[in-house]
Structure 1
Amino acid sequence: MTTTPGRLSIDAELQIDHVRRIEENEVTVAVRCIRGPVRLSARFRHIRGMPTPIDLGLTGILFCGHPVDELDPVCTALVILRGTGTLPPTPGSTVRSGQIIQGSNPSVRPTRTDAPPTRRA
C-alpha cells in the first residue's frame, strides 16, 4: 500500500485500456489491474498525473465473461465504475485510454448479491 502525503492510501490501481459503454453516471471499461487485488466497492479518487479529483466506485467486474469479486494484478477485465469522473473519452475528458486510476479497497470484502461462492480472477 502506498501513502502519499496529504492523500489517501492507495492499494488499488487500474489502467484503462478502452471505454466500452458510457451512461450518465456509469462507465464500463476494459482495464488491467496493476496494483491489487482490486475488490468490488473499491473507491477511485485520483487519476495518476492529473490534478482533477474523481469519485468512482467499482460496482462490477467481468473476468472472461464471468462476474468475480476481485481482480488480481496483471489480469484484465471489464469493470463497471459509477460516480463522477465518467465523462466520454474525448479531449479534456476525465477517464481515457492509458490512464491509471488510483484508489483504495473497502476494509471489508463485499460480495455480489447474486453471487455463487466467491471467485477471484
Structure 2
Amino acid sequence: YVDSNLLLTGHFSDAAILGQAGGSWASSSNFQVSPEEQSALTRGFEDQSTVQASGVHLAGVKYLTLQANERSIYGRKGGAGCICVKTKQAIIVAIYKAGAQPGDATKCVEQLADYLIGTGF
C-alpha cells in the first residue's frame, strides 16, 4: 500500500502505515517513525491539544500542526507537510514533497484510509 497507493502518485517523499497498538506495518525505505513519535501521534488523535501545542514529530522532523481531529492530523514544514490519518487499527503517515498540492495529497491519503476502514483495518 505504501508504494502503490502513496509513493507512486508522485505526491509523497515518504510514507508508513503504523499499527495503533505500536509497530510499523509498512514504510518507505529510510523513513523510521520512532516509538516515542508514534506514541505521541497516537495520543494526538485522542487529545488534539497535545499536537496543537508541540507539533507533530515524524522521523526526527517537527511539523507545525495545521489541523487535528480524532481522524486526521495535518502538519507543515516549509513547503512540505505531513498527513496522518487514523483507521480502525492503523495510522497512515505520508510526507508530501515541497511543490506538491496539499489538497491532492490529502485526498489520496484519506481515500486509502477509507479503503482500509472498509476492509476492517
Task: Using structure 1 for the length normalisation, give the TM-score.
Answer: 0.29
Q: Which has the larger radius of gyration?
A: 1
Task: Using structure 2 for the length normalisation, give the TM-score.
Answer: 0.29
Structure 1 or 2: more helix by fraction: 2
Greater RCO structure (CA 8 Å; 6+ sep) = 1
Structure 1 or 2: more strand by fraction: 1
